[in-house]
Amino acid sequence: MFVNGFSMKNSFLPFKIFQNLGLILLLVFQLKLNTFYAQEISPELIEQELIRAQLDPDQSIEILVNAPLSYVFNFLSLRLNEYVEGARAIEFNHSNSEAPGKLGVGSIRKLTMENDAYLIQKFLQFQLHIGYAYFTDMDKSTLEAPLNYSLSRYEFSETKEGQTIVRISVVYQSSSRLLSYFVRRAFSSSLRRDFERAAETIEFNYRNNS
């Protein structure tokens, strides 16, 4: 269509160019923001986050499990694939463990999902039947998540014979400031649900296999 010798189609070009330019600038800004937000994951940073997980975690919960402490400890640390939704296999590499051939500080745990994506987790602390902590390395993992890293810390105590309290504390860093609010909400809503399901799984296995 022509009006006063000008094509109406062409008259919209500057507006379309402006829209495209705005989108490009937004994407460039977000890329710069994400690059700025990402921190180098150094041993010093991991040590700081380990302390924060103990003193000021991003999320923490306590669950009560009707099973002995040793059984709960072993199930949560060794049988992750039996209570994590969508998981199908678990593998361990103890070549760098402080306890040769056994789970300990330095051990690597690989959790593989049903879609073949996996998470790589390195144990930072390990005291048998007392507690442990591990770092989930998103750079080495193939499971897609809006995180640079996460660090989880578990503490175990027995209230009475056959009953265990587990405190789980988590710290993490979102891969983008724009996503941090959603990541925080996702952690908050899923953490208790996931570990309540874990408690049910542990109790069921203990009742039926002990």
For residue 19, pLDDT over 60 is answered with: no
Q: Where are the beta strands (DSSP E) in 69-206?
A: 87-93, 108-113, 118-127, 131-137, 147-160, 163-174
Comparing 184 with 148, the larger pLDDT belongs to 148
Q: How far apart are CA 150 and CA 158, in angstroms?
A: 27
pTM of the predicted model as reported, rounded to 2 decimal places? 0.77
- Residue 35's CB is within 10 A of a number of other CB atoms, namely 8
Higher pLDDT, 61 or 2: 61
Residues 6 or more apart from 132 whose CB is under 8 A from it?
77, 123, 125, 126, 153, 154
Would you place residue 209 in the very low, low, confident or very high pLDDT band (cuts 50, 70, 90)? confident
- Give me the pLDDT at residue 124, please: 97
State residue 13's pLDDT score: 34
> pLDDT by residue (tens digit) across 74-119?
999 999 999 988 899 999 999 999 998 999 999 999 999 999 999 9
In the 3-class helix/strand/coil scheme, how is 61-100 assigned residue by residue?
Answer: EEEEECCCHHHHHHHHHHCHHHCCCCEEEEEEECCCCCCC
What is the model's pLDDT at position 160?
82
Mean of the per-residue pLDDT values for the chain? Answer: 80
pLDDT for residue 68 is more than 50: yes
Indicate whether 18 pLDDT > 80.
Answer: no
The pLDDT, as a whole number, for residue 193 is: 84
Q: What is the mean pLDDT of residues 137-157?
A: 90
